Amino acid sequence: MAVPQTEPMAGGRRGPGPARAPAEGRGWAWGGVLTALAGLLVIVTAGPLWPYDEADIRDSARMVGRFDGATAWWVFATQIAFTAAALGAVVFAAGLRRRLDRQCPAGSLVPALAASGLLLVAVMNLVGAGMGTEMFHDITNRDATDPDMIISGMTQLGTYGWLWSGLLLTAGALVVAAFRQGAVSRWIGVISALFGFLLLITQVTPFQYMALFVGFPYLLVLGAAFAFGRTRTTE
């Protein structure tokens, strides 16, 4: 037999009343902010990794010769940024799925799809971090490493972790959540439609790595929206 919930009454006693769940925490939303800032850091740290002149492009040895003693540490910083982005994306994915599970109709695919897009971003960032480890050692030992191998690896470093187009799933899911299910604010649906369109452009053209330039501001807006927006409670 279920025991009725109680509410405070005069004199400190408790009487029957509806149960209220505690307000949902917002810590998970900061995972999105962390991912966005880590993506921005990737862009910043990538600058010193490409010190080449146009005339160097046909000669890998000349390209490697442009590296200085700080290059390996810029690679290391990029690896740290990729790792932070990956971990933050997983936390944000878990929290976003929980939030949408509570607000979307039962059986909706929206929560799983929204989280899956973020998990794809996390996977690609872990791949980028792995390339960072490889390139750190190759550049540190560049005198004993084939220049063609180094330049090939640097190209991969500047590609894999930048493929944030998995956010297409997240954006599409939030558009449905906003306009068909009322699970999130409509302005989030508008922002998701806009950034989703830009992500789609990067994906269907030969510039998929540019998805990072679209993805990091999108996640910054989303993370901030859920971190500072009104917290809903369930009854």
Nearest-5° Cα angle at 119, 116 to 123: 140
Does position 167 have pLDDT exceeding 70, yes or no? Answer: yes
b/e string for 179-204 if b means 16 or more Cβ within 10 A? Answer: eeeebbeeebbebbeebbebbbebbe
State percent of the chain over pLDDT 90: 81
218 against 9, higher pLDDT: 218
How confident is the model at residue 6, as a pLDDT?
47
- Cα 38 from Cα 47, distance rounded (Å): 15
HSE-CB at 96 with a 13 A cutoff on CA atoms is 35
Assign 189 a pLDDT band (cuts: 50, 70, 90).
very high
Positive or negative, the CA dihedral 86, 38, 221, 206 is: negative
Tens of pLDDT, residues 45-57? 998 998 888 888 8
Tens of pLDDT, residues 96-128? 999 999 999 999 999 999 999 999 999 999 999
How confident is the model at residue 231, as a pLDDT?
54
Q: What predicted TM-score, i.e. pTM, was given to this entire model?
A: 0.86
Measured N-to-C along each axis, helices 29-46 and 71-103 cross at an angle, to the nearest 10 degrees, of: 160
HSE-CB at 34 with a 13 A cutoff on CA atoms is 21
3-state secondary structure of 7: strand
Does position 235 have pLDDT exceeding 50, yes or no? Answer: no
Does position 199 have pLDDT exceeding 90, yes or no? Answer: yes
Does position 140 have pLDDT exceeding 60, yes or no? Answer: yes
How confident is the model at residue 141, as a pLDDT?
94
